[in-house]
Chain A
Amino acid sequence: MAKDVLKAFASLKLTVVLLVLSMLLIFAGTLAQVESGVWTVVDQYFRSAIVRVDFQIFVPRSIARIPGAIILPGGALIGAMLFVNLVAAHVSRFKYRLKNAGIIVVHLGILLLIVGEFVTGIAAREGRMTILEGESSNYAEDIRSCELAVIDQSDSQDDFVVVVPQRLLSHDSATISNGLLPFEVRVDQWMGNSRIERVSQPDASMSTAFAQMFRAIPLPPANGVDGGTVDVPSAYITLIDSGHELGRYLVSVHVNQPQQVRVNGRRYLIQLRFARDYKPYRIELIDFRHDKFVGTETPRNFSSQIRLIDPERGVDRETIIKMNHPLRYAGETLYQASYKPDNSGTVLQVVRNPGWLIPYISCTMVAVGMLFHFGRRLSSRGVSRS
């Protein structure tokens, strides 16, 4: 029976089906970016087990409305199956001889590439660190997801922060209850992307002046073709303490200031914000330079002169991060990603990817394997002709 299973997984038909499905998935995933953001598509199509592909993505809405959808295996499932398929083929079918060495190395490289993508998908973290000149920061923000932070400032020096991730918030009527939270959070309305506008008549049903004077309007998700925009979520939430409603609040990533909530005389701050990843080090921006070619507006150089402070490792040094010259520190890479519009500050992309080296190794293996395989065949043909 085990032999049958192995043979089934080693099937060349399965390989062909998986490759066809891969192409279909890439095609659908590309078209899906017309209406969805790049990272939404990456998560939904390429890093999921199953994906629901609406027929509408194949036809612009302006031409026709197409109902219905098809369920396809997602990129993660296809990748896993390809991995198993290739391993099973080697176990059951391949013969390990010198003349097959090139093919084996090529296949090992491909297997490593698949593993590398899994490692990246699971372990890689990316965020943006925005710092003004003369200021410093010790966290990166993930602009692809947000979190509701409940902050207790009763300690004189430290903030105790309880974080509710977006995946728990992004359902209308969801109620989040957790021992770490000083109250329950009921999501009355979740807006994955939104704008804020001022109301002409204050809404007395809301619990803070901000919520009374402003309202959030849902927007369609930022898509992959309009360039540079990100989803800015907002939500109407109700806070509940022991069955008693404390009030209704509007929280939004648009708003940089937290709002106050009092529970049993204790003061908390609540804020919907991009998910933060705190670092053991701090980056201080000494100077940001945006040089242009003389007499033109064409950028010549972006660079950030920074001070890196890591008390745990006893590091306190200055360095410069510029285009194509990232700073690698503590397993993370800090790239010069963007800057504040008035050049008053910098935006650094902070990337932690334990699998960053794997694609280089796997591509090298594939190249070496192919060279060996085809080189050997060419040389053997030359020998037979002579």
Chain B
Amino acid sequence: MLCFAMRGSQAPIVLACFVSLIGCEREGVHAYRVPREPSGMTQTALGLQSSSQESADRDAIHWSVPQGWREDRTPREFRLTTFFADSGKVEISVSAFAGAAGGISANINRWRSQLQLQPLSESVIDHTLEMVEGSEPLVRVFDETNGQRIVAAIVAPGDGQTWFIKAMGTPDSIGGVRQSLVEFATSLRLANTGKVNSAPSPTQSSTMNSAVAGNGTGAVERAVAAWSAPGHWRREQTNSQMVAAVWATDSGCRVTLTPLRRDAMTAISGINMWRSQIGLPVVGNLAEADLEHFSDTASLFDGVAEDGEQRIVAAIVQGPVQNWYIKLTGSATEVDEEIKAVRELVQLVDTAEHGS
């Protein structure tokens, strides 16, 4: 079409030159080095980063963050979130559990043990707590010093939940954040999001002490202690008295071993708790849960979040006195790498409880 306006045979040649010039392609396969990003550091433009259990629960609570506090949303076991105050020197944890009195006593005695203090009975504990006047919902404050100091606020907002806001450190540093911690606690409100509460059930907290203390035979604890975990698994200190053992893998997965009394939580409750943690709808019965029949006394749950990112593989091993919950969490692909070792652990616990 263009050529009719030109004369001579030069037009096609000139056109070809233009086309080849314009048609130059950009870069092909190439490589570069970049400093490794910490996990979860950046977001994609699509924003499809999976929402963890912590963030899901966190959305169910409203609060006012005091001046100078900085939130760190790195997921931590049984924490909704973590704050840092006093230029990062003081760490404040925020946790929520379903359940009231038993959970409070258990937690307070755990804090006392962290301060090398003797445990107290439930009736005495009540007298050690300071009530914040006019707080609605009621806020009670635990404040003990024994070398280190712990200040913790306990909030019972209703809905069967109890929230714990805790800071531990030197007496001076904790003294500096005490007031803001209490103000933060009094600002907590339950949002009406309609989300499934994924905190442990009421009975979990109240029964964990006895469960971990070895209401069973202790065979599982001994077997796990003697077990050779894979080399890339790191045994971590558990800061929850509900969990008997925690491992973290180099790839970012987490494995927990939790004993609970048989009457503490039904299998379907546990499965629905895991499903809700990865955003899956709850199921009405075990048949819908699509469990793997691992043995006569052990079943395996394997769930992946709808967006394909978060995955939970968890086993319930039924014992004569207590059930063992072995949970592997992480990204779908990383979990894939760890399943074999987790199955070994399930087998180990199952055998320890019931014999080979």
* A131 adjacent to B18 (CB under 8 Å): no
* B5 adjacent to A130 (CB under 8 Å): no
* B7 adjacent to A257 (CB under 8 Å): no
Report B-chain residues with C-beta under 8 Å of the C-beta of A159: 33-36
Q: How far is the CA of A135 from the CA of B42 in the complex (A)?
A: 7
Q: Does A139 count as interface, using CB distance less than 8 angstroms?
A: yes
* B332 adjacent to A256 (CB under 8 Å): no
Q: How far is the CA of A2 from the CA of B321 in the complex (A)?
A: 100
One of A76, A181, A273 near B44 (C-beta < 8 A)? A273
One of B8, B35, B36 near A1 (C-beta < 8 A)? B8
Q: Does B249 count as interface, using CB distance less than 8 angstroms?
A: no
Report A-chain residues with C-beta under 8 Å of the C-beta of B19: 49-50, 77
Assess A180 versus B308: contact at CB under 8 Å? Given A49-B23, A80-B18: no
Q: Does B25 count as interface, using CB distance less than 8 angstroms?
A: yes
Q: How far is the CA of A162 from the CA of B31 in the complex (A)?
A: 4
With both beta carbons as reference points, the residue of chain A lying nearest to B335 in the complex is identified as A209
Q: How far is the CA of A130 from the CA of B41 in the complex (A)?
A: 11
One of A196, A258, A341, A345 near B333 (C-beta < 8 A)? A258
Report A-chain residues with C-beta under 8 Å of the C-beta of B71: 133-134
Q: How far is the CA of A120 from the CA of B6 in the complex (A)?
A: 30
One of A9, A76, A230, A255 near B308 (C-beta < 8 A)? A255
* B336 adjacent to A209 (CB under 8 Å): yes
Q: How far is the CA of A38 from the CA of B304 in the complex (A)?
A: 35
Q: How far is the CA of A180 from the CA of B15 in the complex (A)?
A: 37
Assess A257 versus B333: contact at CB under 8 Å? Given A14-B2, A130-B44, A274-B44: yes
* A80 adjacent to B22 (CB under 8 Å): yes
B36-51 interface mask toward A, CB cutoff 8 Å, 1 = contact, 0 = none?
Answer: 1000011111111110
Report A-chain residues with C-beta under 8 Å of the C-beta of B18: 49, 77, 80-81
* B29 adjacent to A168 (CB under 8 Å): yes
Q: How far is the CA of A163 from the CA of B31 in the complex (A)?
A: 6
Number of interface residues of A (CB under 8 A): 78
Report B-chain residues with C-beta under 8 Å of the C-beta of A342: 59
Report B-chain residues with C-beta under 8 Å of the C-beta of A158: 33-36
* A157 adjacent to B35 (CB under 8 Å): yes
In angstroms, how far is the closest chain A Cβ from the Cβ of B332?
4
Q: How far is the CA of A100 from the CA of B33 in the complex (A)?
A: 56
* B43 adjacent to A132 (CB under 8 Å): yes
* A208 adjacent to B42 (CB under 8 Å): no
* B331 adjacent to A257 (CB under 8 Å): yes
Q: Does A153 count as interface, using CB distance less than 8 angstroms?
A: yes
Interface core residue of A132, A162, A176, A345 (most chain B CB under 10 Å): A132
With both beta carbons as reference points, the residue of chain B lying nearest to A158 in the complex is identified as B33
In angstroms, how far is the closest chain B Cβ from the Cβ of A189?
18
* A256 adjacent to B31 (CB under 8 Å): no
Q: Does A191 count as interface, using CB distance less than 8 angstroms?
A: no
* B30 adjacent to A163 (CB under 8 Å): yes
* B43 adjacent to A345 (CB under 8 Å): yes
Contacting residues of chain B (204-248) with chain A, CB-CB under 8 angstroms: none
Q: How far is the CA of A342 from the CA of B73 in the complex (A)?
A: 15
Report B-chain residues with C-beta under 8 Å of the C-beta of A180: 29-31
Contacting residues of chain B (335-351) with chain A, CB-CB under 8 angstroms: 335-337
* B50 adjacent to A11 (CB under 8 Å): no
* B332 adjacent to A257 (CB under 8 Å): yes
In angstroms, how far is the closest chain A Cβ from the Cβ of B328?
12
With both beta carbons as reference points, the residue of chain B lying nearest to A156 in the complex is identified as B36
Not counting A131-B43, A256-B46, a sample of 13 additional A-B residue pairs whose C-beta atoms are within 8 angstroms of each other reads: A4-B8, A77-B15, A133-B71, A136-B41, A158-B35, A160-B33, A161-B34, A163-B30, A213-B304, A214-B304, A214-B308, A257-B331, A273-B44
Enumerate 7 A-B pairs (CB-CB under 8 Å) in ascending A order: A9-B6, A134-B70, A158-B34, A158-B36, A180-B30, A256-B44, A260-B333
Q: Which 8 A-B pairs have the closest CB atoms?
A: A8-B6, A14-B5, A178-B29, A209-B336, A257-B331, A130-B43, A49-B22, A49-B19
